[in-house]
Amino acid sequence: MNSEISISGAGIAGLVTAIALRKIGINCIVYEAAPEIKPLGAGLVLAANAIKAFEKIGIDKEIISKGRLLASFAILDKNGKTISRTDSEAIGKKFGTDNFTIHRARLHEALLSLIDSSRIKTGKKIISADQSDSGVTLHFADGTTAQTGYLVAADGIHSHIRKLLIPNTKERYAGYTCWRGIVEDAGLNITESTETWGPAGRFGIVPLAEGKIYWFASVNAKQNDPVLKNFEVNDLLKHFAEYHSSVKAVLQNTSESVLLLNDIIDLEPVKNYAFGKIVLIGDAAHATTPNMGQGACQAIEDAVILTDELSKTGSVENAFERFGVRRIKRTHFIVNNSWKLGKMAQSSNLVFSALRNCTLRLIPAKIKESQLKKIYDVDF
């Protein structure tokens, strides 16, 4: 009986899990489809729950040193007037280090530096995984096979493994598309992360370490919109012409080559993550819209919970099962609430937007805190 655990996918979920399992003496092989690991040129915001997970694994210092901690986060209207502001330092005192921003490339470099490179096999796209009493046979697109005892499927929202296990899963288009870019701060002196909500869509600005700024812009659109697909920076400047000066300044600093565009999709919640010798984690299990900034945070939590369960029992299958039980409710909560938040934040209806902004301004701090508590409180 093969007792080795393999991981499919060297994204955040796969790499953090490989590191966490190594810490309890389990050496995994990570099979990655891409010929080389090239993270997107975009930024990431990680909340207190993700940092707590890094602490639990014992890699928080390595990660935090590569990014930046921000003191606050604000939602603004199109004129730059504050709708709501969250004091991240105060939140940090209650729930742990919060509002941490990092360039995705820096995060990936940090994670890769913590893994023995011989354990990562690139150019290995898994096309099927057959379970038997003796383990799992992995079949790769290059025609080769490998035997493993168990498989942790971390192959992202379009997970091939998930589709084999649960053929009827639904990837849902959220109704908006999103551009992302990274620019040099170059005298803009932006120190707070903000989201500007207005009729043209949402525009996020997030300061990163090393004098860089990550921005994103979500606009309501039909899926695969052929016009938006060809948008250049100038088109975005026109689209957000009525927004305050920081939005324009950030766009003016953006070069065409860094522009990324993705239609926003999530995964309709599935009922089960554990399937005998295979378990789904990260976006493969519970991809969410980015509205709560929790997709990667949940993937990082997965790594901790899976490791915890594996450290408690000799039966890997039981540990996978227990992992699923512990993760379903929380990840469904995130996926469902993020979906709803997106609908509210993306509204282009002028009357609704005005009402929404007024209501948000009036929400008492206590209620905001109890909402955050649900997200930041972790069971590890």
Ligand X SMILES: Cc1cc2nc3c(=O)[nH]c(=O)nc-3n(C[C@H](O)[C@H](O)[C@H](O)COP(=O)(O)OP(=O)(O)OC[C@H]3O[C@@H](n4cnc5c(N)ncnc54)[C@H](O)[C@@H]3O)c2cc1C
| Residue with smaller CB distance to ligand X, 326 or 366 | 326
Compute the least distance from the CB of residue 191 to ligand X, in Å. 18
Q: Of the candidates 5, 21, 33, 120, which one interacts with ligand X according to CB under 6 A?
A: 33
Compute the least distance from the CB of residue 267 to ligand X, in Å. 10
Among residue numbers 163 through 222, which ones bind ligand X (CB under 6 A)? 178, 180, 216
Query: How would you list the strands of the sheet with 145-148, edge to edge?
Result: 126-132, 135-140, 145-148
**189: its two tokens:** 């002196």
Report the distance separating Cα 180 and Cα 264, nearest Å. Answer: 12
The site string for ligand X over 70-99 (x = CB under 6 A, - otherwise) reads ------------------------------
- Residue span binding ligand X (CB under 6 A) among the ranges 10-18, 21-29, 269-277, 372-380: 10-18
Compute the least distance from the CB of residue 32 to ligand X, in Å. 5
Helix segments in 140-194, DSSP class H? 160-165
Among residue numbers 315 through 374, which ones bind ligand X (CB under 6 A)? none
Assess contact for 20 and 304: CB atoms under 8 A. Answer: yes
The site string for ligand X over 268-307 (x = CB under 6 A, - otherwise) reads --------------xxx-----x--xxxxx-x--------
Compute the least distance from the CB of residue 356 to ligand X, in Å. 22
- Residue span binding ligand X (CB under 6 A) among the ranges 26-34, 53-61, 237-245, 311-319: 26-34
Assess contact for 377 and 98: CB atoms under 8 A. Answer: no
- Residue span binding ligand X (CB under 6 A) among the ranges 32-40, 307-315, 322-330, 356-364: 32-40
| Phi then psi dihedrals of residue 196, to 5 deg | -100, 125
Report the distance separating Cα 138 and Cα 70, nearest Å. Answer: 43
Report the distance separating Cα 149 and Cα 152, nearest Å. Answer: 10
Assess contact for 129 and 103: CB atoms under 8 A. Answer: no
Is residue 355 within a helix (H) or strand (E), and if so which, with residue range? Answer: helix 350-362
| Residue with smaller CB distance to ligand X, 246 or 294 | 294
| Residue with smaller CB distance to ligand X, 33 or 59 | 33
Compute the least distance from the CB of residue 124 to ligand X, in Å. 6
Compute the least distance from the CB of residue 86 to ligand X, in Å. 15
The site string for ligand X over 97-126 (x = CB under 6 A, - otherwise) reads ----------------------------xx
Compute the least distance from the CB of residue 212 to ligand X, in Å. 15
Got the DSSP string for 94-111? HHSS--EEEEHHHHHHHH
Q: Which residues does 96 contact at the CB level (< 8 Å), separation at least 6?
A: 48, 49, 51, 52, 55, 376
Pick from 230, 193, 29, 236: nearest CA to 118: 29
Report the distance separating Cα 212 and Cα 74, nearest Å. Answer: 19
Query: Strand 212-220 and strand 201-207: pairing?
Result: antiparallel
Q: Of the candidates 6, 8, 88, 177, which one interacts with ligand X according to CB under 6 A?
A: 8
Report the distance separating Cα 335 and Cα 326, nearest Å. Answer: 16
Q: Kindly determine how many residues on this chain lie close enough to bind ligand X according to the rule CB under 6 A.
A: 34
Q: What is the CA radius of gyration of the chain?
A: 21
Quick count: other Cβ atoms within 10 Å of Cβ 230?
Answer: 9
Q: Of the candidates 3, 24, 27, 34, which one interacts with ligand X according to CB under 6 A?
A: 34
- Residue span binding ligand X (CB under 6 A) among the ranges 11-19, 163-171, 224-232, 247-255: 11-19
The answer to whether 54 contacts ligand X (rule: CB under 6 A) is no
Q: Of the candidates 5, 6, 9, 106, which one interacts with ligand X according to CB under 6 A?
A: 9
Q: Of the candidates 67, 92, 156, 342, which one interacts with ligand X according to CB under 6 A?
A: 156
Assess contact for 7 and 253: CB atoms under 8 A. Answer: no
Separation in Å, CA 271 to CA 26, 110, 281, 307, 329: 28, 33, 13, 21, 10
| Residue with smaller CB distance to ligand X, 180 or 330 | 180
Compute the least distance from the CB of residue 128 to ligand X, in Å. 9
| Residues near ligand X (CB under 6 A) | 8-14, 31-34, 44-46, 125-126, 154-156, 160, 178, 180, 216, 262, 282-284, 290, 293-297, 299
